[in-house]
Amino acid sequence: MVDRISEIWGTRTPFARGALWPVRVDQKLADGVQEKDVDRWVQSACVLCSNGCACDIAVKDGAMVGIRGRAGDLVNHGRMGPKGLFASWQGVSHPDRLTSPMIRENGQLVPCSWNTAMERIVSKSKALLKERGPLSHGFYTSGQLFIEEYYALAMIGKAGIGTPHMDGNTRLCTATAAAAMKESFGSDGQPSSYTDIDNCDAMFLYGHNMAETQTVLWSRVLDRLAGPDRPKLVCVDPRETEVARLADVHLALRPGTNLALMHGLVRELLHNGWIDEAYIGQHTMGIEELRSTVEPWTAEAVAQTCGVDAEDVREAARIFGTSEAVLSTVLQGFYQSSQATASSCQVNNMHLLRGLLGRPGCGILQMNGQPTAQNNRECGADGDLPGFRNWENPEHVQELAALWNISPETIPHWAPPTHAMQIFRYAEQGSVEFLWISATNPAVSMPDLPRIRKILAKEEVFVVVQDLYLTETAQAADVVLPAAGWGEKTGTFTNVNRTVHLSDKAVEPPGEARTDLDIFLDYSRRMGFSTLDGAPLLDWQGPEDGFEAWKNCSRGRPCDYSGISYERLRGGSGIPWPCNDEHPDGVVRFYEDGIFPTDPDYCETYGHDLLTGATVGPQAYRAMAPNGRALFKTASYSPPHEEPDEEYPLRYTTGRTAYQFHTRTKTARSRQLHKAAPKAWVELSVQDATELAVREGDLVRVTSRRGLIEVPARVGDIRPGTVFAPFHYGYWDAGGTPDGHPTAANELTITEWDPVSKQPVFKNAAVQVVKIADGQGPAPAPTTTASRPAEASRFGSGQDSADATRLADAGHPVSGHDSTDAGVSAGAAVPPTTGGPDAEAEEFLEPSSPPQFPDAIQPDPGHPRAAHATGDSGSGHSTGSGEGEDSLQETLKSALKGVERVVRNAIKDVTGGHDNDGGSAGKDRP
């Protein structure tokens, strides 16, 4: 048993480059439940981050009582992180759940029947459509619904109502990933695979605190770092994250200056000739503009603007330029900061310059934050057209109209889809009067909360909220609909590296809660949305009908699901799309042949100017004739719009902790996670704390031009001049309102967004900090992650050396660990974050040999390979493939085999083979 609160990443299973990542099955059962008590295990995948760890849910007496990672899945090889272990079923099976619809009567939300609630919605909706038309309706969804639900909603919005005002909170988390891939490659679609971690010899993490956001993916990296041939690691992050601590080069740049740094790195590659001229000539366009844009950015210029060491810039570029196989990953540090798309495109450009794409170990992971963000993008509930179709391409619009049997004029395609911030602006101005919010909590997660609260409270805006709990947003709704959660419904979703998983229904939802899909289908029925023939627009009977409809819609597009079925997803590993006749088992990585989806008839966008967001348009794009070449897109650097000044002298940035997800609706309802990170805090550097006479744990007020928060200070290892706050902490568990001491990081953030991706800028604002009271003890921030205290106030004996061992295990030179003079800021001594017996979870080390593509994937029953398949094809809720009820005994039996394999790997590592995925990726698209 391992305390998975203190050991976030669990036990190391080191492996060498090119070897397979060993299996480690993680399991947590409810108090008092033993494995033998479990009635059945139901296949699913975790929905608490974008990693998509495959798991089985333990069910006993009709209730969820445990979780276990699936050994045979290509994503996680059996592992689960703390959120999956402690908040998957625990965050759903909770007495706080909404069990009845509610409507607002005389200012109060009161329970009512489904019929009453739906009739209220439908009568409002019909009246508005009649009086004001489709542009009065807005839909704001999530990164946490299933494919079938997004696609149903996309059809309702685009084919039923005909409104362009649809978006998801994916706009806040992953819009830039999509935008950067569209601009560089012509279409969304993750180029790389997690197996590139296994095969690279250098990794670059750009604004990606993977150690906390995707803990299981980070375990994979840690296992490489602890292996015999540690890859080089470069970290770009203003905080001393776990990634930074293990990095060979840590570029702790000023928030808001990413693009300047990227220009400097690109310039180094160009000036040192670390480029592949032949690849550039054959497979790209636009090198000249790239050259001239980056030319002013010498390492010294970067040093000055970004506040980093010029030598570190050169060293990072050297690692990129001279390593054999480089994997880059990008997340919120880039996506939620200034010039997000331009900065993220520079990451793509670095790979294009060296042709480092489409080979094992060479790739880019433009990450997602949420578990199903990918599907919102694919299905078009975020405003894009379904199947990565191009709204500016009349043929694509026509295709959809034919598929849905509606008039193409109904589909809004006269202007770009309305992004989330603009939908809220229209609501603020009174032209969007019907706003349906599902599975997200903008009252905590959007920027400038004082403004968002005012909009949600407006009399004139009719707000429908569909959720598991009475969130801060639901409290402001006119109608609240209780939704079924994970484990209470069936559906599919797709992780960051395009792996599609099925999540089967394990138990009944509480009370009268209904699935999001049923709610959408009911709305469509009551509204009478129909096809040209008068048939119902959505005649699906359940999720599988929805999946089949989606397969049809995706056919022939980059995200082709046509070869996947519920049946194929049961039993084996998840399947990476595209999966079709040409690629019956899916595709591991894209662009092996250097052919990109930029063909004007096929591409998802004609692109934008990255500085302004001006559209390029069909004519100019066709004239450019990219024809399968990738585009070097870039923009000149502009300083962030809100810079520190005399009144607000510090830079403010926001982010996440490993123990919470989003606005904590699930994770704070888990005992273990809540205890690990119970309340809000703010991080200050030792230097700033000293100047402000703030000691560890003191209550401080942080003020921006928008608002203020009052939270305890953690004196930590952040870059001086920068202040960090976690964004999870709203008010549902603190009286429901920000009265008293406001704590939500977004009270302070600015209303601004990237011109191309329209992703809000959460990571740059100017603030002032003052101390308002002495501390009552240390700040409630975890000590196991980036929020750890600066050394001076770090716990007593023991922990520091444990910490050092961990770093050393991951191949980090610990001796250079300096101790800062922090006498002044050392307040309360900080006890280490641990979970105790409550947080102990089981780990089964190497119980079976690691899954491998394509064998891990359940063969298509109609496909020739099926004849050779072994294992259970799965019926009903079977977890199949040797992972059934008694799978653990099975897998433990093969433990010996696992040990054998480790030895084999060690030998293999000496002999140096490193292409473990069989190179069977094939072409990127049909």
Contacts with ligand SF4, residue ranges (CB under 6 A):
46, 48-49, 51-53, 80-81, 83-84, 214-216
Binding mask 582-611 for another protein (x = CB under 8 A): ---------------------------x-x
If the CB atoms of residues 65 and 216 are measured against ligand SF4, the closer one turns out to be 216
* 752-776: burial string, b at 16+ Cβ within 10 Å, e else: bbbbbbbbbbbbbbbbbbebeeebe
Q: Which does 318 bind (CB under 5 to 8 A by kind): another protein, ligand SF4, none?
A: none
Binding mask 632-651 for another protein (x = CB under 8 A): ------x--x----------
Q: Which tokens hold the place of 150?
A: 């997004």
Among the residue ranges 6-14, 118-126, 228-236, 749-757, the one whose residues contact another protein (CB under 8 A): 749-757
Q: Which does 426 bind (CB under 5 to 8 A by kind): ligand SF4, another protein, none?
A: another protein
Residue that the structure tokens 């220009």 belong to: 263
- Cα(383)–Cα(403) distance, rounded to whole angstroms? 18
Q: Which does 53 bind (CB under 5 to 8 A by kind): ligand SF4, another protein, none?
A: ligand SF4
Q: Which amino acid is at 872?
A: D
Q: Which amino acid is at 238?
A: P
**φ and ψ at residue 364, rounded to 5 degrees:** -130, 135
Question: Can you tell me whether residue 397 is helix, strand or coil?
Answer: helix
Query: Shortest approach of another protein to residue 284 CB, angstroms?
Result: 20
- Cα 9 vs. chain centroid, distance in angstroms? 18
- At CB < 8 A and 24+ separation, what contacts does 216-221 make? 216/51, 216/53, 216/75, 216/76, 216/79, 216/80, 216/81, 216/84, 217/51, 218/9, 218/242, 218/243, 219/9, 219/10, 219/79, 219/81, 220/21, 220/194, 221/197
Q: Which does 48 bind (CB under 5 to 8 A by kind): another protein, ligand SF4, none?
A: ligand SF4
Q: Which does 715 bind (CB under 5 to 8 A by kind): ligand SF4, another protein, none?
A: none
If the CB atoms of residues 78 and 847 are measured against ligand SF4, the closer one turns out to be 78
Query: Shortest approach of ligand SF4 to residue 216 CB, angstroms?
Result: 4
HEC states along 480-547?
EEEECCCCCCCEEEECCCCEEEEECCCCCCCCCCECHHHHHHHHHHHHCCECCCCCECCCCCCHHHHH
Q: Which tokens hold the place of 352?
A: 């294009």
Query: Shortest approach of ligand SF4 to residue 53 CB, angstroms?
Result: 3
Q: Does 755 bind another protein (CB under 8 A)?
A: yes
Q: Of these, 614, 772, 773, 802, which contacts another protein (CB under 8 A)?
A: 614
Query: Shortest approach of another protein to residue 641 CB, angstroms?
Result: 5
| Total residues at interface with another protein (CB under 8 A) | 31
Query: Shortest approach of another protein to residue 429 CB, angstroms?
Result: 6
Among the residue ranges 149-157, 480-488, 727-735, 748-756, the one whose residues contact another protein (CB under 8 A): 748-756
Give the residues across from 502 on adjacent strands. Answer: 492
Query: Shortest approach of ligand SF4 to residue 442 CB, angstroms?
Result: 22
Among the residue ranges 94-102, 128-136, 217-225, 898-906, the one whose residues contact another protein (CB under 8 A): 128-136
If the CB atoms of residues 215 and 654 are measured against ligand SF4, the closer one turns out to be 215
Q: Of these, 107, 108, 414, 837, which contacts another protein (CB under 8 A)?
A: 414
Q: Which amino acid is at 839?
A: A
Vertex 330 angle, CA 328 and 332, to 5°: 165
- Cα(31)–Cα(918) distance, rounded to whole angstroms? 43
Query: Shortest approach of ligand SF4 to residue 152 CB, angstroms?
Result: 24
Q: Which does 655 bind (CB under 5 to 8 A by kind): another protein, ligand SF4, none?
A: none
Q: Which does 852 bind (CB under 5 to 8 A by kind): another protein, ligand SF4, none?
A: none
Candidates 375, 378, 854; CA nearest to 584 is 854
Establish whether the linkage from the previous residue to 600 is cis, with ω within 30° of 0.
Answer: no
Candidates 216, 155, 67, 69; CA nearest to 847 is 69
If the CB atoms of residues 83 and 629 are measured against ligand SF4, the closer one turns out to be 83
Residue that the structure tokens 């909603």 belong to: 153
Which residues, 6 or more positions from 79, have their beta carbon under 8 angstroms from its beta carbon? Answer: 10, 24, 25, 26, 53, 69, 216, 219
Instruction: Find the helix or strand (DSSP H, E) in which 44 lies.
Output: strand 40-45
CA distances from 190 to 459, 496, 916, 924 (A): 42, 7, 20, 10
- Cα(598)–Cα(202) distance, rounded to whole angstroms? 29
Among the residue ranges 9-17, 554-562, 745-753, 892-900, the one whose residues contact another protein (CB under 8 A): 745-753
Which residues, 6 or more positions from 751, have their beta carbon under 8 angstroms from its beta carbon? Answer: 421, 447, 448, 451, 706, 760
Angle between helices 420-429 and 449-457 (to 10 degrees): 50
Q: Does 135 bind another protein (CB under 8 A)?
A: yes
Query: Shortest approach of ligand SF4 to residue 575 CB, angstroms?
Result: 17
If the CB atoms of residues 133 and 813 are measured against another protein, the closer one turns out to be 133
Among the residue ranges 412-420, 471-479, 657-665, 861-869, the one whose residues contact another protein (CB under 8 A): 412-420
User: Which residue number has the CB closest to ligand SF4?
Assistant: 84
- Cα(696)–Cα(689) distance, rounded to whole angstroms? 9
Q: Does 751 bind another protein (CB under 8 A)?
A: yes
Instruction: Find the helix or strand (DSSP H, E) in which 466 lies.
Output: strand 462-467
Q: Which does 75 bind (CB under 5 to 8 A by kind): ligand SF4, another protein, none?
A: none
Q: Which amino acid is at 509?
A: P
Query: Shortest approach of ligand SF4 to residue 147 CB, angstroms?
Result: 17
Q: Does 852 bind another protein (CB under 8 A)?
A: no
- Cα(572)–Cα(585) distance, rounded to whole angstroms? 11
Q: Which does 214 bind (CB under 5 to 8 A by kind): ligand SF4, another protein, none?
A: ligand SF4
Q: Which does 641 bind (CB under 5 to 8 A by kind): another protein, ligand SF4, none?
A: another protein
Among the residue ranges 26-34, 179-187, 305-313, 744-752, the one whose residues contact another protein (CB under 8 A): 744-752
Query: Shortest approach of another protein to residue 289 CB, angstroms?
Result: 10
Query: Shortest approach of ligand SF4 to residue 2 CB, angstroms?
Result: 15
Q: Which does 489 bind (CB under 5 to 8 A by kind): ligand SF4, another protein, none?
A: none
Q: Which does 133 bind (CB under 5 to 8 A by kind): ligand SF4, another protein, none?
A: another protein
Q: Which does 215 bind (CB under 5 to 8 A by kind): ligand SF4, another protein, none?
A: ligand SF4
Binding mask 140-179 for another protein (x = CB under 8 A): ------------------------x---------------
Q: Which amino acid is at 66?
A: G
CA distances from 309 to 249, 264, 298 (A): 10, 12, 12
Binding mask 416-455 for another protein (x = CB under 8 A): x-x--xx--xx--xxx------------------------
Q: Does 624 bind another protein (CB under 8 A)?
A: no
Burial zone of 104 (CB within 10 Å; 0-12 exposed, 13-18 middle, 19+ buried): middle
HEC states along 603-639?
CCCCCECCCCCCECCHHHHHHHCCCCCEECCCCCCCC
Residues in contact with another protein by the rule CB under 8 A:
132-133, 135-136, 164, 414-416, 418, 421-422, 425-426, 429-431, 609, 611-617, 638, 641, 750-753, 755
